[in-house]
Amino acid sequence: MTQTPLRERPTRDQRIVEYGTWEQFKSIQKGFESSRRVRLFYYDGTIEILMPGQDHEIYKSIIGMLLEIYLVEREIEFWPTGSMTQEQEGEVSAQADESYCLHELKPVPDLSIEVVFTSGGPNKLARYRALGVPEVWFWQDGLFTLYELGEQDYKRIYRSRCLPDLDLELLGRCLLITSKVQAAKEFRRAISQ
């Protein structure tokens, strides 16, 4: 099983952070509405524009592919909501790298996943708290870090509450296999045992 080294290839994410109002954010959002490659975020007067690079998009897609294999194999109904815009008018707007509603379609996904190459991580949790996303995963440097929304804030967890039987170490190992066909086969074989 050959694994892809994370640090050998430079990422090409581009990120701009500005400060402004909700109205300014909505104007910027309107200007980018025909651009699928741009992700926009707003929270607490901060406007972030992210143009993900190739590495970012590859890893977020592979995480999604493997997670969907797991959901199908375990016969868990799901709706992949991807990078859909999640908003609370006037307060917050976010686009996860991947997101999922489990068991039934809901206005707020059960799970949002962030791939971190240049920015992000737990500092993005305030956005997801304002949206009410129950569980958020961050994948950075080959490892998953999970958070569950409590009454007041997120707390770090070590096993998914949404998918308690999912082996995150297995998911992480398969994610780094160079051949994506081999990664999918290995992951499927391991979860079928």
Give 7's pLDDT tier (boundaries 50, 70, 90).
very low
CA distance 161 to 45: 32
CA distance 164 to 159: 6
Q: Give the tens place of pLDDT for each residue, 15-74.
A: 889 999 999 999 999 998 888 788 899 999 999 998 888 888 899 999 999 999 999 999
Q: What is the residue-wise DSSP string for 84-121?
A: -EEEETTTEEEE-SEEEEESS--SS-SEEEEE-SSS-G
Residue 103 has pLDDT above 70, yes or no: yes
Q: What is the residue-wise DSSP string for 8-41?
A: SS----EEEEEE--HHHHHHHHHHTTT-TT-EEE
Give 107's pLDDT tier (boundaries 50, 70, 90).
very high
Average pLDDT over every residue of 156-177: 95
Give 142's pLDDT tier (boundaries 50, 70, 90).
confident
- Name the amino acid, one letter, at 119: S
Residue 121 has pLDDT above 80, yes or no: no
Look over the chain and give the mean of its residue pLDDT values, rounded to a whole number.
Answer: 90
Q: What are phi and psi of 71, to 5 degrees?
A: -60, -40
Q: Which of 93, 66, 90, 103 is nearest to 189 (CA)?
A: 66
Q: What are phi and psi of 72, to 5 degrees?
A: -65, -45
Give the total residue count for the chain: 193
Residue 79 has pLDDT above 70, yes or no: yes
Residue 188 has pLDDT above 60, yes or no: yes
Domain boundaries, given as residue ranges, for the chain: 54-192
Q: Which CATH number fits domain 54-192: 3.90.1570.10, 3.40.1190.20, 1.10.10.10, 3.60.10.10?
A: 3.90.1570.10
Q: Give the tens place of pLDDT for each residue, 18-29.
A: 999 999 999 999
Average pLDDT over every residue of 167-183: 95
